[in-house]
């Protein structure tokens, strides 16, 4: 039996990691006394005991906790955005390549990807790497997430009834959203994408969309074929039929339907005249966007079956 300490286990991501590990047959959770949850010495003591420390903390606290773990030689999986492009850390997206999966398995420090970034990178990285999309273009990325993506504070704002919450609201309008860097670096882009996220008045689920221009029939075949080849052997990445929307929701493509799942559904759409195209990824921001991915990475780090406990549907 392997053991992990979840620093931040009562937060939104921490709770969901705990929920997944509760059904995990080979990992047990070692909990901190809630009264000592900010005590560095107690954290250090637990980190000495366990196989991996999972950080489900705000960035500043995650940096401090990662330093504690490194002090005592404990392996770390950080769900925050503090270390995603930092030297010495491995980006926790195994579907990027066989080398990435092996690097995660052997790493001392793994950074779990951002939720929006997961969708964007899974679409862009294989297409740019294969030369089907240019790494020199400036891509626009639009996205909508359920409010749980903003953690306890945003959940409280939407659910307390104290505020009148808009049905949907765009943000990141300074072009500085914290996922831009990881999307650029991991997708192999020369330029930062124009990333405009938005938050909707629903709890969970997201869509990440990337418009494309000049996609003739041949190019569309190439896009779909490359994605198909990249993810054919992946359990959690499901390439959808070209130009197809789920009949239950058509003509709408909604962010719903994957709550609790670790899957990402990738869609490709193209206009008949070949002038316009669209890539869309649908995922659960709390699933493959956070806690599902965290448990998948933990499994890899601990040499366990990658799919154990990742899905709580
Ligand atoms: N929600 C999501 O969809 C996603 C979140 N993430 C990332 O995961 C991390 C956690 O996010 P999320 O769960 O949403 O945030 P929450 O605000 O829901 O939870 C954070 C938790 O950390 C605790 N905490 C804060 N500082 C410390 C500290 N110094 N020591 C111990 N515990 C501390 C908080 O305690 P208290 O309750 O007392 O405030 C809280 O329980 C963040 O970095 C976030 O960016 C990543 C992907 C998606
Ligand atoms: C709706 C909402 O607020 N979403 C969060 C992203 C959630 C996520 O992936 O966070 P990390 O990068 O911290 O892992 C945001 O835009 O900041």
ipTM: 0.94
Q: What SS3 class is residue 6?
A: strand
pLDDT digits (tens, 9 = 90+) for 160-191: 988 888 999 999 999 999 999 999 999 999 99
pLDDT digits (tens, 9 = 90+) for 24-63: 999 999 999 999 999 999 999 999 999 999 999 999 999 9
Average pLDDT of the chain is: 97
Q: Is the CB of 100 under 6 A from ligand 1?
A: no
pLDDT digits (tens, 9 = 90+) for 72-83: 999 999 999 999
Distance 115 CA to ligand 2 centre (A): 7
The span from the CA of 99 to the CA of 170, in Å, is 36
pLDDT of residue 164: 86
Distance 278 CA to ligand 2 centre (A): 23
Cis peptide before 25 (omega within 30 of 0): no
Where are the domains positioned within the chain? 2-113+289-301, 115-285
Atom of ligand 1 nearest to the CA of 286: 3
What does the pLDDT average to over 198-216?
97
Give me the active site residues, please. 115
pLDDT digits (tens, 9 = 90+) for 120-165: 999 999 999 999 999 999 999 999 999 999 999 999 999 998 888 8
What does the pLDDT average to over 13-33?
97
Which class would CATH give 115-285? alpha beta
- Are the CB atoms for 301 and 75 separated by under 8 Å? yes
The span from the CA of 95 to the CA of 230, in Å, is 8
Q: How many residues does the chain have?
A: 313
Q: DSSP assignment of 145-173, as one string?
A: EEGGGGHHHHHHHHHSSSS---SEEE--T
Query: 2-113+289-301: which CATH architecture?
Result: 3-Layer(aba) Sandwich (3.40)
Residue 80 CA: distances (Å) to CA of 14, 150, 182: 11, 12, 12
pLDDT of residue 163: 83
Of the candidates 269, 289, 193, 191, the residue with the CA atom closest to the CA atom of residue 227:
269
pLDDT of residue 281: 99
- For residue 11, is pLDDT > 90? yes
Q: Where would I find the H helices in 35-150?
A: 40-49, 59-71, 98-106, 115-129
Closest C-alpha residue for ligand 2 atom 1:
149
Q: Which residues contact 6 (CB under 8 A, 6 or more apart)?
A: 14, 17, 18, 21, 29, 31, 54, 56
- For residue 105, is pLDDT > 90? yes
Pairing of strands 206-213, 276-283: antiparallel
Atom of ligand 2 nearest to the CA of 150: 3
Confidence category of residue 276, pLDDT binned at 50, 70, 90: very high
């Amino acid at each position: 039996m392997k053991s992990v300490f979840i620093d931040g286990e009562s937060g939104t991501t921490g709770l969901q990691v705990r929920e997944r590990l509760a059904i995990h047959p080979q990992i047990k959770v070692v909990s901190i006394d809630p009264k000592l949850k900010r005590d560095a010495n107690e954290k250090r003591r637990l980190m000495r005991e366990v196989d991996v420390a999972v950080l489900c903390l705000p960035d500043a606290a995650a940096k401090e906790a990662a330093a504690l773990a490194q002090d005592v030689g404990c392996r770390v999986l950080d769900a925050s955005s503090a270390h995603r492009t930092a030297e010495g850390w491995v980006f926790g997206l195994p579907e990027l390549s066989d080398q990435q999966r092996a690097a995660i398995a052997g790493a001392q420090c793994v950074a779990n990807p951002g939720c929006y970034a997961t969708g964007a990178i899974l679409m862009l990285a294989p297409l740019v790497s294969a030369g089907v999309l240019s790494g020199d273009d400036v891509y626009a990325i639009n996205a909508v997430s359920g409010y749980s993506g903003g953690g306890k504070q945003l959940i409280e704002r939407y659910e307390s009834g104290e505020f009148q919450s808009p049905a949907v609201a765009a943000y990141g309008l300074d072009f500085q959203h914290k996922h831009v860097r990881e999307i650029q670096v991991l997708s192999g882009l020369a330029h930062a994408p124009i990333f405009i996220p938005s938050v909707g008045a629903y709890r969970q689920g997201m869509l990440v969309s990337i418009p494309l221009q000049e996609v003739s029939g041949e190019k569309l075949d190439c896009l779909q074929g490359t994605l198909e080849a990249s993810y054919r052997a992946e359990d959690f990445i499901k390439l959808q039929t070209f130009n197809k929307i789920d009949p239950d929701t058509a003509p709408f493509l909604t962010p719903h339907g994957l709550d609790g799942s670790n899957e990402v559904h990738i869609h490709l759409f193209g206009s008949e005249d070949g002038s316009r195209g669209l890539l869309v990824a649908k995922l659960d921001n709390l699933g493959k966007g956070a806690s599902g991915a965290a448990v998948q990475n933990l499994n890899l780090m601990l040499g366990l079956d990658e799919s154990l406990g990742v899905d709580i549907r």
